[in-house]
Amino acid sequence: MEATSITQTKNMIIDLIKQPLFEKIDFTGTKIYDALINGAIDSATEAIRELSSLLEDLVWEAYLTSLFQSTMILSWLREMAAKKGMRLVSYQPIWITLPTGTKIQIKSPFFVKASPKRGRKKRGPQNRGGHLLLSVMGFVNKIAPELAFRAIQLSILSPSFDMASKTLKQEGINLSANQIRRLVSEMESPNLCSRVDRVLSDDDASLFKNRRILLAADGGRLRQRKNKRGPWPSGYKRCGFHTDWIEPKLFSLYILDEDGNIVKDIAPFVDGTTGKVDEFISLLEQYLVRLKIEDASEVVLIGDGAPWIWERIPKLIHSIGGDELKLTEIIDWTHAKQNLNKAFEMLSKKKREKVDFNHFKNLLFSGKINEIVTEVKSLLNVRASSKIMKKLKSYFVSNTTRMQYEASRAVKLPTGSGVIESAIRRVINMRVKSPGSFWKLDFVETVIYLRAQILYGRWGNIIKNWAHSLRCDFMDIATKAEI
């Protein structure tokens, strides 16, 4: 393939655009004139839209064609590939998808992983190579980044990948459900540091300084898809899979104002994992460290009575922020009322009639847990070994310090975990918990991660950080290329 220098790029782009564009302008002008004479405003509008799309496609095609033929770009790619242990094989014709959805064929330099000279057979990892220039330009699976990110966002917000594909098709963009699914897979983070870095902006390093932070945590439900082991049953085309329920865990980090209200002008941090508690703690630790939780004036930890919250998260906060960091732990008021009601449901019908639930609810709000235990024991004459007494001691007595709701309200602190309950519903239940949905854990974690960022206002940071990394690579090209 004939290569050109960077200095020829401008003229080549102009030459590739001129003739087809002028022909299309002339054709469109005639079409608009005829449409207006006949009163067909819709046809005129459609002609203008087609001309606009054609211009964008022509510019893209001319730009890519000239760029891929540049001698200096090829030289830089060889140098970059050498650092990655790769080598140039040849220019290969490939089809790429432009932002408008138009597919064009270009010749792209194809690189493969360089293997030892002896026994060189494979063309790269898993017998595959890569189009480095497309990667540097941000193309995802040979799809322009603007369209790729739009398809990803649409698929995460839609009920299914098939619905996202149909929506794009109505706009003239043909991306199958499997293509969109592969785009989402490309957004999987290689490690926790990269995952956190993608959602942070430059101003987030000092975001928590001298602020009150609300940290809420909870677990949801979804069904995983786990392949069965052993040989396939006779007559089946698949090995089959298990569909066990698992509990993905989410956390949210909000900033509170002096009145205890959430600062709505600042997007919260919401993320989660399908892994065990240790993986959840590791993910939360990355966020707390990067956001410098030690600079906060106070951390308010709120959740239900799940033991994993209170056994692990307070230790993590103190290990990062030190014992000087003020930590207030609160069990959600609604969960506490529900558990008090469940405790009384353990009584016989005759004894339940003696219970004034509002009286005990008021005691609970005042944080007088020991009075609740004493009155239940004396009023109902129950044994210490009874179910209700075990419930009161295991859930309420052990969490007395976390159930001081009246005192919390007095210092303008929230007593409800509605923020994380809402996150569980919006991020998990409305997308990945739907009937008949079974998920590979790695993939569904990526879906949860992306959906949380889109719904809670940090999707723009992911795109911005993606573009920043590409600009850094192009700066290398600019400094090495001779203009």
pLDDT digits (tens, 9 = 90+) for 343-392: 888 888 888 888 889 999 999 999 999 999 988 888 777 777 788 888 89
| Residue 309: closest CA among 231, 417, 188, 208 | 417
pLDDT digits (tens, 9 = 90+) for 393-406: 999 999 999 999 99
In this structure, are strands 222-223 and 269-273 parallel, antiparallel, or unpaired?
A: unpaired
Is 478's pLDDT higher than 50? no
pLDDT digits (tens, 9 = 90+) for 62-100: 778 777 877 878 888 888 888 778 888 888 899 999 988
| Residue 340: closest CA among 309, 308, 365, 310 | 365
Is 6's pLDDT higher than 50? no
Is 38's pLDDT higher than 50? yes
Is residue 221 a contact partner of residue 428, using CB atoms and an 8 Å limit?
Answer: yes
Is 29's pLDDT higher than 80? no
pLDDT of 474 = 54
pLDDT of 58 = 80
Give dist(CA 409, CA 289) in Å, integer.
Answer: 29
Provide mean pLDDT across the span 254-270: 95
Give dist(CA 283, CA 271) in Å, integer.
Answer: 8
Give dist(CA 425, CA 221) in Å, integer.
Answer: 10
Kindly report which listed range (132-146, 205-219, 261-275) carries the lowest average pLDDT score: 132-146
| Residue 217: closest CA among 478, 403, 461, 419 | 419
Q: Across-strand partners of 93?
A: 107
Provide mean pLDDT across the span 225-234: 78
Give dist(CA 222, CA 207) in Å, integer.
Answer: 33
pLDDT of 126 = 46
pLDDT of 168 = 96
pLDDT of 122 = 47
Provide mean pLDDT across the span 210-219: 96
Under the banding of pLDDT at 50, 70 and 90, the label for residue 15 is: low
Which residues, at least 6 apart from 313, have a Cβ–Cβ distance to it below 8 Å? 215, 217, 281, 284, 301
Provide mean pLDDT across the span 427-446: 92
Q: Tokens at residue 300, please?
A: 């308010």
The total of other beta-carbon atoms located within 10 Å of residue 234's CB is 5
SS (H, E, C) the chain: CCCECHHHHHHHHHHHHHHHHHHHHHHHHHHHHHHHHCCCHHHHHHHHHHHHHHHHHHHHHHHHHHHHCEHHHHHHHHHHHHHCCEEEEEEEEEEEECCCCCEEEEEEEEEEECCCCCCCCCCCHHHCCECHHHHHCCCECCECHHHHHHHHHHHHHCCCHHHHHHHHHHCCCCCCHHHHHHHHHHCCCCCHHHHHHCCCCHHHHHCCCCCEEEEEEEECCEEECEECCCCCCCCCCCCCEECCEECCEEEEEEEECCCCCECCCCCCEEEEECCCHHHHHHHHHHHHHHCCHHHCCEEEEEECCCHHHHHHHHHHHHHHHCCCCEEEEEECHHHHHHHHHHHHHCCCHHHHCCCCHHHHHHHHHCCCHHHHHHHHHHHHCCCCCCHHHHHHHHHHHHHHHHCCHHHHHHCCCCCCCHHHHHHHHHHHHCCCCCCCCCECHHHHHHHHHHHHHHHCCCHHHHHHHHHHHHHHHHHHHHHHCCC
Is 127's pLDDT higher than 60? no
pLDDT of 472 = 63
Of 324 and 14, more confident: 324
CA distances from 45 to 27, 28, 39 (A): 14, 10, 12
Torsion of CA 142, 438, 453, 153, to 10 degrees: 40
Supply the mean pLDDT for the chain: 86
Under the banding of pLDDT at 50, 70 and 90, the label for residue 43 is: confident
Which residues, at least 6 apart from 108, have a Cβ–Cβ distance to it below 8 Å? 68, 91, 92, 93, 94, 131, 133, 134
Q: Tokens at residue 417, please?
A: 């975990």
Provide mean pLDDT across the span 309-328: 95
Is 434's pLDDT higher than 70? yes
pLDDT digits (tens, 9 = 90+) for 164-176: 999 999 988 999 9
Is residue 392 a contact partner of residue 343, using CB atoms and an 8 Å limit?
Answer: yes
pLDDT digits (tens, 9 = 90+) for 285-314: 999 999 999 999 999 999 999 999 999 999
Give dist(CA 126, CA 137) in Å, integer.
Answer: 24
CA distances from 290 to 49, 252, 320, 474 (A): 46, 15, 11, 27
pLDDT of 445 = 95
Under the banding of pLDDT at 50, 70 and 90, the label for residue 123 is: very low
